[in-house]
Amino acid sequence: MYKDKSSQADFCVVDAPPESRLSQFERSTLTGGEDLERALNWASRQLESFDFSKQIQTRNAAEILEQVKLFSQPSEWNSAWISDPRNFFVAPTSTPIVCERVFHGFSDGDVLDLNFPSAYRVQTPEFSSKFGMHTENKQVHVRYWRHRVRGCPAIIAVHGWAMGDQRINSLAFLPGLFYQLGFDVALIELPFHGRRKPTTSAGKQSFMFPSMDIVLTNEAMAQVISDMRSLKIYLESDGAGAVGCMGMSLGAYLGVLWASLDALSFCVPIVPMVDMAELAWEIITRHEAFRSLREQGLTVEALNAAYKVHSPLNLTPATDKSRMLIVAGIGDQIVPSRQPKLLWDHWKRPRIVWFQGGHVPQFKRSRTFEEVISFFKDLGLLKTP
């Protein structure tokens, strides 16, 4: 086994070059201790100080309202999913062809980088040409912590807006910790994030998803569901046991949406946003162009109509309530407590845990971790004490 004189033991058993070993953040999720505490505190400060309103690329309100019509007024090609939003999410039918690269090795498993072509099919004609332009977004990237002995339960972890770097993602989901508890962990990168973000200058300057481009935002929602369904098919074909989802913030929204469409083995939304129109409107009100947009006719009702097609609050859950655990922050300044409360009520009040603090739950320093572990124990997924 590879030995490191520093406190950050690498646990590496493959002869990998330094650039192919786990980052310091990822290693800290294995070793814990003060290094992990400092990393979590750093991540929390970064997120709490992030001004989402400055990331909005303004658009003409008339253009936005025209896009709203595509998702609120029936036509020949959208009537099926306007009458039933489930029709907007076309399920992949085959196992994806996945390229695997061992990124890091353990005595009992590996960390792999996976990539495969997105099976996503464009739903709105307007988006076809734009989707074709962004070749980076057509590849799905996943960092997969996999045990050599197959049959372990697998967590598909879904990051939040403006995340995507696997080093930061690890601080949100602590893959090393869950790996040591017997879980396989697959951290997927969302469309237009991480390695899927366009390399053009325009793509580098802004966060494309979600954005004020309603069509791109809604299509990317459908793409995420398609990609996660493909990943689940692959994991099961590769020998994984029960497969469920854990998401944070935007990732929690997407996990909740997936749990509303498919029966998952479990769903753990962390600081979940569930009413995108309400949260988007609150962010827009802080933008310098808000007054102009409102005078041009943009309203929260219009946003509600635009996002209705993927709103979890517009769908009956397909996942059993006993397999849901909501994790929410009392002092969250990014996703107000009203949002998880809306989800809790809509899901008929499943298990919920509130933690003290902001947008990043401190698993190792609160009862949050104990609640999550207890939840997995009750589902029969946790084999270790």
- Confidence label for 365 from pLDDT (cuts 50, 70 and 90): low
Q: What is the pLDDT of residue 322?
A: 97
Q: What is the pLDDT of residue 51?
A: 55
Residue 154: what are its φ and ψ, rounded to 5°? -120, 130
- Confidence label for 4 from pLDDT (cuts 50, 70 and 90): very low
Q: Rounded to whole angstroms, how far apart are CA atoms 89 and 222?
A: 5
Q: What is the pLDDT of residue 19?
A: 45
Three-state DSSP string of 14-62: CCCCHHHCCCHHHHHHHHCHHHHHHHHHHHHHHHHCCCHHHHCCCCCHH
Can you tell me the mean pLDDT for 55-71? Answer: 77
Q: Rounded to whole angstroms, how far apart are CA atoms 39 and 35?
A: 6
Distance, CA of 183 to chain centre: 18
Asked if omega into 350 is within 30° of 0 (cis), the reply is no
Amino acid at 182: G
DSSP helix/strand/coil, 333: coil
**What DSSP element (H or E) covers 243?**
strand 243-248
Whole-prediction pTM: 0.87
pLDDT per residue as tens digits for the range 220-235: 999 999 999 999 999 9
Q: What is the pLDDT of residue 12?
A: 31
CB atoms within 10 A of CB 64: 21
Q: What is the pLDDT of residue 84?
A: 93
Chain mean pLDDT for the chain: 84
Distance, CA of 173 to chain centre: 11
Q: Rounded to whole angstroms, how far apart are CA atoms 62 and 71?
A: 15
Residue 360 vs residue 219, higher pLDDT: 219
Where do runs of H (alpha helix) occur along the chain? 24-31, 33-48, 61-72, 79-83, 128-133, 166-173, 175-180, 201-205, 214-237, 250-261, 276-284, 290-295, 300-307, 338-346, 367-378
The proportion of the chain whose per-residue pLDDT surpasses 70, expressed as a percent, equals: 85
User: Whose CA is closest to 310, among 261, 350, 262?
Assistant: 261
Task: Reply yes or no on whether the pLDDT at 37 is more than 60.
Answer: yes
Q: How far apart are the first and last CA of the chain?
A: 26
Task: Reply yes or no on whether the pLDDT at 126 is more than 70.
Answer: yes
Q: What percent of the residues of the chain are helix, what percent strand, and what percent coil, each to the nearest 5?
A: 45, 15, 40
Residue 82: what are its φ and ψ, rounded to 5°? -75, -35
Q: What is the pLDDT of residue 58?
A: 61
What single-letter DSSP state applies at residue 324? B
Pick the CATH number of 18-378 from 3.40.50.1820, 3.40.225.10, 1.20.1250.20, 1.20.960.40: 3.40.50.1820
Check if the beta carbon of residue 144 is closer than 8 Å to that of residue 128.
Answer: no
* Domain extents in the chain: 18-378
**What DSSP element (H or E) covers 113?**
strand 109-117
